[in-house]
A and B are shown apart, each in its own frame.
Chain A
């Protein structure tokens, strides 16, 4: 689980309750509630989904079905450095899958997950509009283009060094 280490869980829970309260009597409120809850928590673990299910009176299985249907919802916490690998058409034909594989290997995690130390999370995303630089990845707000799998190690190392 997250190594966030902060004591803000009560505050987050309060925010979540406020979000649920706001939408409680609105038909079709599940998706906006999930969006706002994810903004608070960064992801949507079982405890959060259960509270939403209870609060909106929607079955948990349905909540989970919606969360896993849409790629923008995450079941896992995000890292301090959020890596997004563009799998849009241009990036894909230029070898984005190879870059993604290399990232998984380098970080030792699957797509959608976060490293145990909470530093890196890895996601695939849709076109980010930088097709001229394909294949492209983003790490937080930094863009890296024209990548080859062998570039991955150095880039990751840069971020590892930064935090130490």
Chain B
């Protein structure tokens, strides 16, 4: 790589010739404020917060200005500070500055910037445009255009990374707004509820549809038996909300906090992930042996499911009919568990803590019920659980309890890796091998499935049956789209495909703790959080789903066999074709 010499605030550095001034400044350890910039996702020089003096006629945006040999950059002059201040004051002048009640209070990048730039007054009046309506019709995502600062990070995430592309910038000038076409609600367009837009929003313009009040209500109701279950990825990230380093495995603190919040039972969705593997693994084998529709595609990610329903309706028969793990768990809790414990299922209230906003929509799907009762009554995100813990005054870092409750408390390492891209595939292979070959897979670490390549393809050889299982894993919907186009055209001939809607899988889900651009620009959250997940798998005594004693008992006492009649009724579902474009009014 060719290097060039540049000087930044008097510091001489050598940087790669294709760097921007912002990247060069980072090498020189000079901090330039940014707002719209998000590495690899949004590099458009729109907000003008990062302006610097490069000796040109006017100040230039460091995030897009390319370096050249001998470039001399100043980042801290009165002219620059004044320009940044004016820009920021103008942004603030038309921002809904209701900071105290804002969901992003203390985690807002605009707020931090105003503090860092010592903004103590705003000299400009906002426009007289009337307040724009709040879009809270979606089951998962709330959009507040009054807080939007038009940075376009969400647009780029939705359009370029996820290829969902349901939001964009509309109108022009003062009237500019980020919204779906024809000012439709997110609930009326092909939004898949992945929530990646929320994670990149620097302010409170995008947030999850809150359900904390509903959960407090249930906890206060003495007639209800309130059960909480936590998805694998939650433990890998919730510590961040309490100042723990990114990638800390906080399972024990989380379990203890949930018990302190007053839930009657604290269960692990990993248990249901093991159940999912039994069902999905069996489904895969049936399809291979009986000439069913292949490839079989996983159905754990509700963002992916809705994406498929809108964009690839011809592939709906390829989707596994398995409900996602937390829905399966809800159905089992309101049938088997209720029966076993002698509790009226209508008095059971199931709360799912998920790294995901799409799970909120999923739990509202009419087909997600057991004998007329919703499988899951409330879905809260990792962030929402953190707010409950804070509200209750629980000292998260000081409490510790390693045990999920009986009688549904066992989970294997195969269940926990559901939280990272490739994990469902890896867990399924561990069990499918046993089911097909009649013996255990010796090395359970299937490293081809792990890691952050957009699409991972590999073959597993099954010596006894002579099958060569062709597998593919995609994470992030842009990658999923590429893979599905190959499946649709017949170019790909896989047996089994895993798709997770979010880049990196659930560890980087739309309901996970939000890290500001300053962190995201330097640290790959997906990799760090996945480490915690694989750590927990390594630490597990049992690492194959079919070894889980709770699951073995469940089949022996209640379900009979995987994909049997009871399973079909409780644990499987169906999908619907959805339009890609909204209809008139």
When A45-B584, A46-B582, A54-B581 are in contact, do A59 and B168 touch as well, CB less than 8 Å?
yes
- Does any Cβ of A come within 8 Å of B576's Cβ? no
- Does any Cβ of B come within 8 Å of A62's Cβ? yes
- Does any Cβ of B come within 8 Å of A98's Cβ? no
- Does any Cβ of A come within 8 Å of B511's Cβ? no
Assess the B181–A60 pair: CB atoms within 8 A: yes
| Secondary structure call for the A interface | helix
When A49-B181, A59-B159, A60-B181 are in contact, do A65 and B169 touch as well, CB less than 8 Å?
yes
- Does any Cβ of A come within 8 Å of B172's Cβ? yes
Residues of A within 8 A of B (CB): 45-47, 49-50, 53-54, 59-65, 68-69
The docked-state distance in angstroms from the alpha carbon of A60 to that of B180 is: 9
When A49-B181, A68-B170 are in contact, do A61 and B584 touch as well, CB less than 8 Å?
no
The docked-state distance in angstroms from the alpha carbon of A59 to that of B580 is: 10
Q: Which residue in chain B gives the minimum CB-CB distance to A45?
A: B584
How many residue pairs, one in A and one in B, have C-beta atoms under 8 Å apart?
50
Q: Which residue in chain A gives the minimum CB-CB distance to B169?
A: A65
Assess the A47–B584 pair: CB atoms within 8 A: yes
Assess the A64–B584 pair: CB atoms within 8 A: no
Assess the A50–B172 pair: CB atoms within 8 A: no
Give the distance to chain B from A69, nearest Cβ to Cβ, in Å.
5
Give the distance to chain A from B156, nearest Cβ to Cβ, in Å.
12
The docked-state distance in angstroms from the alpha carbon of A21 to that of B401 is: 64
Q: Please give me the 3 A-B residue pairs with the lowest Cβ-Cβ distance, nearest first.
A: A59-B165, A64-B181, A61-B168
Give the distance to chain A from B313, nearest Cβ to Cβ, in Å.
14
The docked-state distance in angstroms from the alpha carbon of A6 to that of B172 is: 35
When A68-B170, A68-B172 are in contact, do A63 and B584 touch as well, CB less than 8 Å?
no
The docked-state distance in angstroms from the alpha carbon of A32 to that of B136 is: 36
Give the distance to chain B from A125, nearest Cβ to Cβ, in Å.
16
Q: Which residues of A contact B159 (CB under 8 A)?
A: 59, 61-62
Q: Which of A53, A65, A68 contacts B581 (CB 8 A)?
A: A53
Assess the B166–A59 pair: CB atoms within 8 A: yes
Give a binary string over B156-181; 1 marks a CB under 8 Å from any A CB, 0 the rest.
Answer: 00010000011111111000000011
The docked-state distance in angstroms from the alpha carbon of A60 to that of B166 is: 7
Q: Which residues of B contact A54 (CB under 8 A)?
A: 580-581
Q: Which of B169, B180, B581 contacts A50 (CB 8 A)?
A: B581
Q: Which residues of B contact A47 (CB under 8 A)?
A: 584
Q: Which residues of A contact B166 (CB under 8 A)?
A: 59-61
Q: Which residues of A contact B583 (CB under 8 A)?
A: 46
The docked-state distance in angstroms from the alpha carbon of A45 to that of B182 is: 9
Q: Which residue in chain A gives the minimum CB-CB distance to B163?
A: A59
Q: Which residues in window 531-585 of B have CB below 8 A to A?
A: 580-584
Q: Which residues of A contact B180 (CB under 8 A)?
A: 61
